Structure 1
């Protein structure tokens, strides 16, 4: 399972294989998918969860970027600037997370100063159950993937 960022060489691909795949075959598959991004190996039983999180994940992120940009437009930023700021924030934050290997909560806390604008915004997000909504979306996509796979 790969995702649409493969179009620009930035995908997250998960592969599963069985005992019939030899080392040469496995290395060939990894080489192919490494050409379009990161490759992870998991057992087949995890693939529906991967679909829910990573296969559908780009759509979740696009909605978040669009919503952030719309927020910027609402407070009078030009649409193009708001969209680029939102996208760069997602890109830079993801890169920081991957390169530092720090927990997302720790990185969030580096931005959220006591009594500041960020913690005020985080409170608003938490009040709206944004975290639970994202978790439920991943779970719903996973359940749908399982149901589609049971039909096939």
Structure 2
């Protein structure tokens, strides 16, 4: 991306609308394709129109947080069902995802990202990594085998069936 050079002297005054139009034109010229990017979902709003509005974030290694708005248009909303069926993970806030998105800018709504696809294998990997970390923490604290030390009840009153799909 080329660095922008700002002039200290302004030849003529422009309106906010004109400024935002020029910003939009610059972004459309620079970001001409879709990009795969990883992020966390901070908030999600399933609108009655069928569109899904998201707030995305990412923390870098230094702890600096980036944030952006994104939208899944209703004609792409089937991506969510596809993601949930392939991963077994509910599409909700506080999950890490890998999106294919296009940069979008309008003078009315500002910068946002239009989601075109979701890579389910990334989230499965992140989910499995989190489960492993939890298991390791339980093992390190000595909690992982506590249930084994309990006496077995004579009569089962509650049964849970846990399996993998």
TM range (shorter): under 0.3
What TM-score does the superposition give when structure 1 sets the normalisation length? 0.24
What TM-score does the superposition give when structure 2 sets the normalisation length? 0.22
